[in-house]
Amino acid sequence: MEVADPARKDTTSRILDIVAPLGKGQRALIVAPPRTGKTMMLQNIAHSIEANHPEAYLIVLLVDERPEEVTDMDRSVRGEVVSSTFDEPATRHVQVAEMVIEKAKRLVEHKRDVVILLDSITRLARAYNTVVPSSGKVLTGGVDANALQRPKRFFGAARNIEFGGSLTIIATALIDTGSRMDEVIFEEFKGTGNSEIILDRKLADKRTWPSMDIARSGTRKEELLVDRATLAKMWVLRRILSPMGTADAMEFLVDKLKTTKTNEDFFASMNT
């Protein structure tokens, strides 16, 4: 994710590489309460992919979003932006999502690396819950028992194909919205991804960006994505940050990263 550009002062991509490194075929979940900067984080990830992996086919899928968010994303991201705004019916949300995932699968079959940035999987699941025929079994919060099968199939499509392409899906999941349905949807998707990035409302209220909870964020099998020496330094850094509070840890890390140009320089400075 880190972009080798001295003009860029943004630390989000560098922190992601340290806390929750992402690879091709990743199935990542950005768990975010309202107004914690999830859309800005998706934009940062999109810019990093454009700079570091121009060969990757980038699709930004915005479901049930505000029109101004769609316009902003369309203007700031060079990849394909596909959207269905909140004034569209649920059938349209589902139709757009199905078109995107089928297109992505066809590209992967042609050995392309495809990245889908989805905002948000919670609203997509709500749309499927509205559209799917009633099974007669309703879970807590009004979620139909069969409603989450198709959004899970969407999210589960992310994988790295041996001798072929890869499909990476980075999706946001909404929590603390006051809706019981959103909590049920998140609980169903929790554990299905192989990387979780947890955003914290207290950090966002203090205007600390990225508002990431370092202790609770991470990637499964991260030893496959980074070399052993870097991994050891990442673990040492986690031990240093773990006694601190969430806000103190992020502020400490951001301040330290601002004094170095790259993560390699940052890890080298840890030894001195």
Give the confidence band of 2 by pLDDT, cuts at 50, 70, 90.
confident
- pTM, full prediction: 0.93
Q: What is the mean pLDDT of residues 202-206?
A: 91
Q: Which string of DSSP letters, residue by residue, matches 32-58?
A: E-TTSSHHHHHHHHHHHHHHH-TTSEE
Report d(CA 177, CA 241) in Å as an integer. Answer: 29
Report d(CA 135, CA 110) in Å as an integer. Answer: 37
Tell me the Ramachandran region of residue 246: left when phi exceeds 0, alpha when psi lies from -120 to 50, beta otherwise.
Answer: alpha
pLDDT tens per residue, range 81-132:
999 999 999 999 999 999 999 999 999 999 999 999 999 899 999 999 999 9
- β-strand 27-32 against 166-174: which pairing, if any? parallel
